Amino acid sequence: MCEGNEDKTPPEVFAIRENASPPNSAGWMLRVVPNKFPALSVEGHLNRQGEGLYDKMNGVGAHEVVIETPKHDETLSTLPVDKVAMVLRAYRERIVDLTRDERVRHILVFKNHGAAAGASLEHSHSQIIALPIVPKRVSEEIVGARAYYEYKERCVFCDIIHQEIEYGARVIRENNGAIALAPFASRFPFETWILPKEHSAHFSHTQSTLFQDVASLLSETLRGIDNTLPRAAYNFMLHTNNTDGKGEASYHWHIEIIPKLTKIAGFEWGTGFYINPTPPEDAAKYLREALPREDPGNRT
């Protein structure tokens, strides 16, 4: 994935380049390429069918890799905030493009950092998967948020942000546009959510100025995690609305970061519940103390 090795990846589908250098050559700051070993393939038909009482379909969709930096030894937590904002803008560009494929129902962006989090390559990268069905976990969250909206006529995430700012103990940091918090009854030690403070269902509708605020919190949180838990592996997942645009009023995009410190065992597999030895109030306190100094110009 390093600069100079452009011919060792599939041809890029998107790149940010400094000097209008030609595609698939050196001179880039960020590249997006199809995954060499895709979980879903772009060609083909879904071909939904039954097999007795089971259902099956082909794995049609897209699986792309966002190479976040040309340098092998940089990570999202060492990149300058501007470069992290660039990564978020690349996500948006790819989501907008992949949404044009009518077979695509949901687009998931995620990152595996460190071997314990499932990363098989060291070079800093994230992944984009465009899926022909709405995934189980996404559906649970979107349907749950809709049920809350039908009852209250308010977005549950907006309500969470309001309550957390008032309560304070689980807020890790906020700036003009975004907030980082340790969610109530978090599943994992140091689980962190980053949300835009203004209601917004689709990540792809987000303005670039907001990306700067989200990037700033993402960068600070990852540095805080690095400081508190040296060399911790983590995953993050971008939770955004489905491509169908329903749930505009009730859903609210956000990033969920989960450091990999505990093992998923029989209790978790059997219940879907998680035992978390570090309460979110403690995690938020540790992270607040471990965060890099705030840019005073960026404070609410």
Please list the active-site residues. Answer: 125
Q: How far is the C-alpha of 194 from the C-alpha of 180, rounded, in Å?
A: 4
* Residue choice 193, 203, 236, 286 for contact with a copy of itself (CB under 8 A): 236
Binding region for a copy of itself (CB under 8 A) out of 15-23, 53-61, 198-206, 290-298? 53-61
26 binds a copy of itself (CB under 8 A): no
- State the Rg of the chain over Cα: 19
Count of chain residues binding a copy of itself (CB under 8 A): 47
Site track for a copy of itself across 125-154, x = CB under 8 A: --x-x-x---xxxx-x--------------
**74's tokens:** 């940089």
Which residues neighbour 255 within 8 Å (Cβ) at sequence distance 6 or greater? 193, 194, 195, 214, 218, 236, 237, 238, 239
Phi, psi of 142 (to 5 degrees): -65, -40
Least distance from a copy of itself to the Cβ atom of residue 275, Å: 6
Near a copy of itself in 237-256, by CB under 8 A: 237-239, 256
Nearer to a copy of itself, 257 or 291 (CB): 257
Q: How far is the C-alpha of 132 from the C-alpha of 63, rounded, in Å?
A: 12
Near a copy of itself in 94-113, by CB under 8 A: 108, 110-112
CA nearest to 217, candidates 40, 81, 108: 81
Query: Which residues on adjacent β-strands are paired with residue 50?
Result: 55
Site track for a copy of itself across 167-186, x = CB under 8 A: x----------------xx-
Nearer to a copy of itself, 83 or 170 (CB): 170
Phi, psi of 57 (to 5 degrees): -155, 165
Q: What's 141's DSSP letter?
A: H
Tracing tokens 């540790």 back to the chain, one arrives at 286
The answer to whether the Cα torsion of 257, 70, 83, 158 is positive or negative is: negative
Least distance from a copy of itself to the Cβ atom of residue 184, Å: 5
Are residues 24 and 3 in contact, defined by beta-carbon separation less than 8 angstroms? no
51 binds a copy of itself (CB under 8 A): yes
**What's the burial of 48, exposed, middle or buried (CB within 10 Å: 0-12/13-18/19+)?**
exposed
209 binds a copy of itself (CB under 8 A): no
Least distance from a copy of itself to the Cβ atom of residue 239, Å: 8
**29's tokens:** 């700051």
Tracing tokens 């306190």 back to the chain, one arrives at 285
300 binds a copy of itself (CB under 8 A): no
* Residue choice 2, 96, 117, 261 for contact with a copy of itself (CB under 8 A): 117
Binding region for a copy of itself (CB under 8 A) out of 19-27, 28-36, 204-212, 235-243? 235-243
Near a copy of itself in 259-278, by CB under 8 A: 263-267, 269-273, 275
Residues that bind a copy of itself (CB under 8 A): 39, 51-54, 56, 108, 110-112, 116-119, 127, 129, 131, 135-138, 140, 156, 159-160, 163, 167, 184-185, 235-239, 256, 258, 263-267, 269-273, 275
